[in-house]
């Protein structure tokens, strides 16, 4: 291989700033996370495989509790959910927000208190609502006008369900247009601009089966500054003041959603959680003081920021190909276990582990094994020039929205999740096998 033909990269090739705090260097190019060698994980459990650092998850939960001591912190289950994750979140004092009967029932059967769960969703199915009411979730977030009558009818005249109204505040924020949810013209919530949110609030207040506890909003994902949150907070407090003036009702809760941005590659920005918490508290106190409102209890919903940096994906290199000036490094996973690059251009920083290379670095494109040209995991990966089949690549910041969004494309089977903690590795979610795939096919 001729290294000179490719840009040499040295500045951040050995940067571990994105990795879990427990990450340690081992001899011969190895890395350990949670006291467990990544190469040993790959040998023991095969690849592709997801490694989740329990200590990192727990520490990030504690960081949120410390930053928001008076607020309610709900872990956004859609980022990644398993029975172990449910237990860790519960033990660290967080609540849960869920988006389906599946997430809800897994959490409750794993022992999570249903009264500390909030149900979201722009199109809740009868099963979603039925499970929520049967299990006794704490709150249901109303996302559209039709849900008001549906939920009230399901509750019945003798019942009462706590609900919130999801407001679209008219603020654009987030790292990609497909994950910006705070503006009009997308599927979530009720518009503040056209009066839909105000009308929904009036209807909810007129239903004795429903108890309106507050307002909810979520403006996008991968937000790295506090500015948009502060604009939205002031608009939401303004709406709470108008509700007080029009209906004589003072709402006790304000849910500001999540979307807290993290870095996926060295040098990328991340949201300063401590600064966000301080600025939100100040702005909330000032806005409520100006409106003569009591300060509502604040809720935040981190998902990615809790579990994303705690995960590492491991892949085995299957082939290296030079085509038209590009070096393609093909691995044994791809878009079936991580669709984020194909969906909205997510970027990662893969790293060679388990072997020390003395070769220079070059830019390569790491691709998956699937029959799609868009099956690209990292378009400008910085890898040793002598990367070869059999090598092990590790991708940090892999804990969120990868396995939870995995598919059955090409019947490859979804990877397992292995928890590492204090030198021990254990299976949380087993690998999906060919028997699993065949078992669902009952036609003939």
> Any idea where the domains of the chain sit in the sequence?
3-53+309-440, 54-307
CATH superfamily to which 3-53+309-440 belongs: Lyase, Ornithine Decarboxylase; Chain A, domain 1 (2.40.37.10)
Catalytic residue among 61, 246, 288, 371: 371
Both structure tokens of 399: 């804990």
Domain 54-307 belongs to what topology?
Answer: TIM Barrel (3.20.20)
HSE at residue 155, side-chain half, CA atoms within 13 A, is 22
Q: How far is CA 153 from CA 150, 157, 205, 212, 403, in A?
A: 5, 8, 15, 16, 36
- For residue 414, the 8-state DSSP code is P
Which residue, among 55, 95, 102, 53, has the nearest Cα to 75 in the 3D structure?
95
- Residues above pLDDT 90, as percent of the chain: 89
Cβ atoms of residues 331 and 393 within 8 Å: yes
What residues contact residue 175 under an 8 Å CB cut-off, 6+ apart? 220, 221, 222, 223, 224, 261, 344
Can you give the pTM of this predicted structure?
0.93
* Helices and strands, number each (H, E), in the chain: 12, 21
pLDDT digits (tens, 9 = 90+) for 143-178: 999 999 999 999 999 999 999 999 999 877 555 454
Residue 228 has pLDDT above 70, yes or no: yes
What are the DSSP calls for 16-29, one per residue? -TTS-TT-EE-GGG
Is 288 an annotated catalytic residue? no
pLDDT digits (tens, 9 = 90+) for 8-54: 333 455 789 999 999 999 998 999 999 999 999 999 999 999 999 99
């Amino acid at each position: 291989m001729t290294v000179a033909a490719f840009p040499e990269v040295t500045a951040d090739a050995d940067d571990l700033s994105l990795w879990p705090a427990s990450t340690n260097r081992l001899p011969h190019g190895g890395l350990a996370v949670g006291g467990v060698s990544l190469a040993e994980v790959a040998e023991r459990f095969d690849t592709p495989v997801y490694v989740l650092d329990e200590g990192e998850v727990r520490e990030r939960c504690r960081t949120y509790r410390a930053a928001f001591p008076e607020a309610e912190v709900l872990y956004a289950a859609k980022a990644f959910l398993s029975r172990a994750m449910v237990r860790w979140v519960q033990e660290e004092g967080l609540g849960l927000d869920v988006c389906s009967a599946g997430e809800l029932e897994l959490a409750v059967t794993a022992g999570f208190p249903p009264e500390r769960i909030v149900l979201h969703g722009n199109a809740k199915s009868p099963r979603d609502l039925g499970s929520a009411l049967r299990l006794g979730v704490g709150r249901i977030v109303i996302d559209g006008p039709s849900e008001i009558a549906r939920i009230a009818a399901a509750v019945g005249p003798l019942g009462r369900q706590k609900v919130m109204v999801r407001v679209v505040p008219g603020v654009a924020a987030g790292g990609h247009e497909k994950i910006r949810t705070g503006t009009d013209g997308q599927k979530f919530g009720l518009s503040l601009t056209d009066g839909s949110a105000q009308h929904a609030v009036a209807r909810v207040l007129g239903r004795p089966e429903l108890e309106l506890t507050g307002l909810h909003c979520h403006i996008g994902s991968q937000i790295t500054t506090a500015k948009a949150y502060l604009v939205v907070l002031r608009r939401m407090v303004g709406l709470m003041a108008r509700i007080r003036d029009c209906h004589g009702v003072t709402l006790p809760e304000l849910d500001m959603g999540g979307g807290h941005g993290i870095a996926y590659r060295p040098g990328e920005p991340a949201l300063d959680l401590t600064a966000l918490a301080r600025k939100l508290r100040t702005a909330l106190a000032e806005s409520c003081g100006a409106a003569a409102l009591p300060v509502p209890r604040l809720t935040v919903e981190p998902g990615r920021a809790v579990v994303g940096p705690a995960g590492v994906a491991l892949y085995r290199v299957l082939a290296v190909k030079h085509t038209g000036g590009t070096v393609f490094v093909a691995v044994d996973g791809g878009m079936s276990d991580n669709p984020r690059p194909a969906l909205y251009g997510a970027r990662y920083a893969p790293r060679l582990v388990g072997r020390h290379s003395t070769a220079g670095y070059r830019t390569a494109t790491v691709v998956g094994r699937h029959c799609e040209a868009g099956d690209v995991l990292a378009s400008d990966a910085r890898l040793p020039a002598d990367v070869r089949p059999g090598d092990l690549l590790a991708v940090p910041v892999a804990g969120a929205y990868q396995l939870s969004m995995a598919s059955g494309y090409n019947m490859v089977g979804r990877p397992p999740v292995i928890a590492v903690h204090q030198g021990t590795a254990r299976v949380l979610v087993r690998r999906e096998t060919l028997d699993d795939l065949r078992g669902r096919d009952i036609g003939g």
